Amino acid sequence: MSLHVVDHPLIRHKLGLLRAKNTAPAAFRRILSEVAALLSYDALRDLELVEIEIETPLEKMRAWRLARPITVVPVLRAGLGLANAVLELLPEARVGHVGIRRDETTAQPEHYYMRLPDDIAAGPVLVTDPMIATGGSACAAIANLRQRGCRDIRMMCLVAAPEGIKRLECEHPELPVFAAALDRTLDEKHYIRPGLGDAGDRIFGT
């Protein structure tokens, strides 16, 4: 697996704002969207293009278009915050949804919803989830996409724990992961330290 920690001054600055416990939900959503846009630049930099002919107001020329349809798949519910930012950049992208919750006792993933385009395997898939903690939800989501025939899958998150990255490396060694930070560890309750709290609760004010 290829872990890419996108090291940029703006990402460092904005991630610090997201980590601060007194950042209100409205500000949290806005800053999260800004960080996601910056991460998207790296996560999508190798998309395949095709050359086409267009006509400008002055003349004909050769230009470029994306070769294959892109699908953004947020892991519900917190992944929606990142997915919405990607859709601002790529409004033509399709959107699938994978609902996976973590059992707070066992820390194991529980599926409760999945809705994906029928031809999702026809192009690249970007999975979004702000936190990779134990890696259980991420691994389960990637496994579901593999079962649908997807081969070009990449994942985008805000912060990851070494334990979650290690699990992804074991189960999906071919997966590129784009993160704003690799944090120190998981605590006994499986929360990322230093982390930023529960991203879903902070996005939606719950």
- The residue annotated as part of the active site, out of 103, 119, 187, 201, is 201
- The residue annotated as part of the active site, out of 68, 106, 185, 187, is 106
Of 65, 82, 99, nearest to 159 by C-alpha is 82
Is position 102 annotated as part of the catalytic site?
yes
- The residue annotated as part of the active site, out of 19, 77, 152, 198, is 198
- Report CA dihedral (134, 33, 31, 140) to the nearest 10 degrees: -10
Q: How far apart are CA 173 and CA 111, in angstroms?
A: 22
Is position 103 annotated as part of the catalytic site?
no
DSSP three-state, residue 126:
strand
Whether the Cβ atoms of residue 71 and residue 117 lie closer than 8 Å to each other? yes
Q: How far apart are CA 68 and CA 100, in angstroms?
A: 27
DSSP three-state, residue 195:
coil
Is position 206 annotated as part of the catalytic site?
no
- The residue annotated as part of the active site, out of 19, 102, 146, 148, is 102
Is position 23 annotated as part of the catalytic site?
no
Active site residues: 102, 106, 198, 201
